[in-house]
Chains A and B, each alone.
Chain A
Amino acid sequence: AQSVTQLDSQVPVFEEAPVELRCNYSSSVSVYLFWYVQYPNQGLQLLLKYLSGSTLVKGINGFEAEFNKSQTSFHLRKPSVHISDTAEYFCAVARSGGSYIPTFGRGTSLIVHP
């Protein structure tokens, strides 16, 4: 089985500052990795995913993440955040070659202050 740990439950940051949301996973097999965002009163939306190939993955809204196999991490970064980035962010892992059903972390609340 696989698991995901999101190390920070809440990350406050000022507008236009850079941000990193941390995610570590555990799995005995190869995995796919995902980041989702959930805005208030909305469904989850896929930000980006790592399936294979380049370890630096670029997603929507200026976000990117880097897969680090040796550290079993998949941290999400954005060089300059906006107020509109305030949301809940979920990291998820799925077993490659399986039914692609993801296991989600508990989420990190990103709070962007003006």
Chain B
Amino acid sequence: DTGVSQDPRHKITKRGQNVTFRCDPISEHNRLYWYRQTLGQGPEFLTYFQNEAQLEKSRLLSDRFSAERPKGSFSTLEIQRTEQGDSAMYLCASSFGSGTSVGDTQYFGPGTRLTVL
């Protein structure tokens, strides 16, 4: 299977701890997105990379959140000093797009479910 993969699938942590999630996109995809989804809501955009450059960040992405995509391949999302409000499903998606591409299709991973106790 060459789809988007995320690791871990589940993470339980105590408030105040740091957590890191990994996303491996489809190999030829140059764009990578992170979203957060809480119960009963649709995904909310967090941040977006084109290759290794982080091009957009949502206001939802507080200072405790940081994302990297060091070589334009996999990406990590770190949450420092977790709070109970961080409990959510964190989704990663990837796509292939160029400057002239229109509405490129995003392929989503299965998500990482974070529970902060």
A interface vs B, CB < 8 Å? 4, 9, 32, 34, 36, 41-46, 49, 51-52, 90, 92, 94, 96, 99-107
How many residue pairs, one in A and one in B, have C-beta atoms under 8 Å apart? 61
B43 and A44 within 8 A (CB): yes
The docked-state distance in angstroms from the alpha carbon of A44 to that of B108 is 6
19 A-B pairs in the complex with CB atoms less than 8 angstroms apart: A34-B103, A43-B108, A43-B110, A43-B111, A46-B107, A49-B105, A51-B102, A52-B102, A92-B42, A96-B102, A100-B102, A100-B104, A101-B45, A103-B45, A104-B42, A106-B42, A107-B40, A107-B41, A107-B42
- The B interface, classified by DSSP as helix, strand, loop or mixed, is loop
User: How many interface residues does B have (CB within 8 Å)?
Assistant: 26
The docked-state distance in angstroms from the alpha carbon of A36 to that of B107 is 10
The B50-104 residues at the A interface (CB cut-off 8 A) are 55-56, 91, 93, 95, 97, 102-104
Residues of B within 8 A of A101 (CB): 33, 45, 48, 56
B interface vs A, CB < 8 Å? 3-4, 33, 40-45, 48, 55-56, 91, 93, 95, 97, 102-111
* Cβ contact of B56, chosen from A99, A102, A103, cutoff 8 A: A99
Task: Determine the residue in chain B with the shortest Cβ distance to A105.
Answer: B42
Residues of B within 8 A of A46 (CB): 105-107
The docked-state distance in angstroms from the alpha carbon of A90 to that of B42 is 7
The docked-state distance in angstroms from the alpha carbon of A64 to that of B110 is 25
